[in-house]
């Protein structure tokens, strides 16, 4: 049995949920508010961050990239040619490089600030860092997203998918981060058709459907969030 400690607006959690769907897995979801630093959760992951995956009979697996490696090691071979982490060394390096780009760089420059300022601060009490959003942080993130979309566009104009000829963890991570801010309507899809068409391909996969069917109380999704033909 699989259990995933996650938060609906945590893009790293979204990445793991999409990846699990690609493996045909349906983990039990437990919503975690990591800023509350529950003792029980800190025992699983002393860093206090989501996501954390539990599989019966195994130690807790913390963090999106570590979970991705764990799923590949335990279930990747069963996917054959559709493996999300390639077999060849060069392919694995490129997928891991792009995983770092989106889970670290994109999160630091775009999805992290936008989600913190526009969503998470509304949920936190002042003790945990809640309060009014900082307009400068939002403006900077909205500006940064433009060059990230340019990079996605360049990748998919030169390759079939972000990391090469096949869909990989790189595509799932990028789409997970974009989906979280697309819920808020903050992705300027009009900027580039190539990036938009790539996202539509990932968004149309069955593994993505659970995310598109979820709605966060008090925060309405953008008009095209769940639209596959946006």
Q: What is the pLDDT of residue 211?
A: 97
Torsion of the alpha carbons at 173, 21, 65 and 181, rounded to the nearest 10: 30
- Residue 151 burial class via C-beta count within 10 angstroms: exposed 0-12, middle 13-18, buried 19 and up: middle
Q: What is the pLDDT of residues 149-165, one digit of tens each?
A: 999 999 999 999 999 99
Q: What is the pLDDT of residue 157?
A: 96
Phi, psi of 184 (to 5 degrees): -85, -10
Residue labelled with tokens 């969503």: 119
Q: Could you tell me the domains of the chain?
A: 2-82 (3.40.30.10), 89-212 (1.20.1050.10)
Q: What is the pLDDT of residue 128?
A: 87
Q: What is the pLDDT of residue 87?
A: 94
Q: What is the pLDDT of residue 230?
A: 87
Q: What is the pLDDT of residue 219?
A: 92
Q: What is the pLDDT of residues 13-34, one digit of tens each?
A: 999 999 999 999 999 999 999 9
Q: Which of 33, 79, 74 is nearest to 57 (CA)?
A: 74
Q: Which of 207, 138, 150 is nearest to 179 (CA)?
A: 207
Q: What is the pLDDT of residue 85?
A: 98
Spans in the chain with pLDDT lower than 50: none
């Amino acid at each position: 049995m699989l259990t995933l400690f996650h938060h609906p607006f945590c893009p790293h959690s979204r990445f793991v949920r999409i990846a699990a769907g690609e493996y045909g897995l349906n983990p039990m979801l437990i919503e975690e508010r990591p800023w509350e630093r529950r003792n029980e959760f800190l025992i699983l992951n002393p860093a206090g961050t989501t996501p954390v995956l539990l599989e019966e009979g195994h130690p807790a697996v913390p963090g999106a990239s570590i979970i991705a490696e764990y799923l590949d090691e335990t279930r990747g071979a069963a996917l054959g040619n559709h493996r999300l982490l390639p077999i060849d060394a060069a392919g694995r390096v490129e997928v891991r490089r792009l995983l770092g780009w989106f889970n670290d760089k994109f999160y630091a420059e775009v999805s992290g600030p936008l989600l913190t300022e526009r969503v998470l601060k509304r949920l936190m009490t002042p003790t945990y860092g809640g309060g009014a959003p900082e307009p400068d942080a939002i403006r900077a993130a909205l500006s940064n997203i433009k060059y990230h979309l340019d990079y996605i566009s360049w990748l998919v104009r030169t390759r079939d998918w972000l990391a090469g000829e096949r869909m990989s963890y790189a595509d799932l991570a990028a789409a997970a981060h974009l989906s979280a801010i697309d819920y808020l309507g903050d992705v300027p899809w009009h900027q580039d058709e190539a990036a938009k068409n790539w996202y539509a391909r990932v968004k149309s996969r069955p593994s993505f459907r659970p995310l598109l069917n979820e709605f966060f109380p008090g925060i309405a999704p953008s008009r095209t969030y769940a639209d596959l033909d946006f």
